Structure 1
Amino acid sequence: MRRTVLAPLALAAVVLGAQPASAGAGTGWEPAPSAPWDVDAGLRCDFPVHGEPVIDEVMKRVLDTYPDGTAKRVAYKGDLVVRVTNTETGAFHDADASGSALVEHRTDGSQFWAVHGPVLVGVGEGRGNLPRGLYIIDGVYTMDISSAGYKAVNLVHGTTDDLCARID
């Protein structure tokens, strides 16, 4: 089991280290901008939350496709800082989500992520093996997202930072 987890992470490290984040045309890396988002009270935190990138230099590279041309495996890397704001109070936290990931998109709509570094993850009530919330998960880990949206985070080595508590 451990070898199964580490093999995708080793592959991600090799693939993601191949080009600098500023690499563009001709390298296969292209910008992957994040859109601002809003979440109603009770879905992730007890209060409504707004998220908006303040630094967004994320790049993606499609590594493999299905016969119909849709992405099968995609690598992501680059700096991303998201301002997460409690819209009731105005309290905010600038969350560093600058991790790198190798994401496998499965034909049933599920995904498997092999991650190194921090990524912002939202979990709904009963929709993951973490309690409802918004988290920066940092370290070396995998995340299996079912086609129904259930998120199973498996930390090899890392931490979770509860963003709801930071902006409450």
Structure 2
Amino acid sequence: MGYSKRRWSFVIGSIIIASIALAIVAPNYFINNPPENPVIRTIASSNAFDVTDTRRLVGWADNVFVGKVLKQDGTKSLDGTPETQFKVEVSDNVKGKFNGTVIVNQQGGFKRNELILIENDQLLHEGQSYLFVTKHLKEENWNTLVPVYGDILIANEEAKIELIEKFTTYKNEIPFNMRASH
């Protein structure tokens, strides 16, 4: 009988220790909270065309639209670099026909205690409105934005109107041609 009591004490003690350890460690592994003081790492990107030319940028894009970031919707890594997905409520289309809520994918995000940014393009902020320039990725059913030039923060209604007018140049867009870009 003494052996049985000792054995039960060991089992219960182990369960208590495991529960405490899980309570301490679990938030970092199971909750999508970023670390408090992440190490910021910037990665350079290369583009197949001049992304500063609005007509070429719009020509490359499947969709250009204004939307408000509702919330972060996940993080995934397709090539070793984190990519962060956001639910975005579309308010205005410039190119394409989105309505309702879409998933916008931004290259960059958190990986362990690092924040990886492409060309120092800060992650989207919940509650903020942006003009998005995106390319649809059918396999993931999301719309990846162009780093730096594909997520333009909208400060107010006047800025929104100006951006929509500027990007409506897609009527004069220069379509992206893979052969011509080499």
TM range (shorter): under 0.3
Q: TM-score by structure 1 length?
A: 0.26
Larger Rg: 2
Per residue, is there more strand in 1 or in 2? 1
Per residue, is there more helix in 1 or in 2? 2
- Which gives a bigger RCO, structure 1 or 2 (Cα 8 Å, sep 6+)? 2
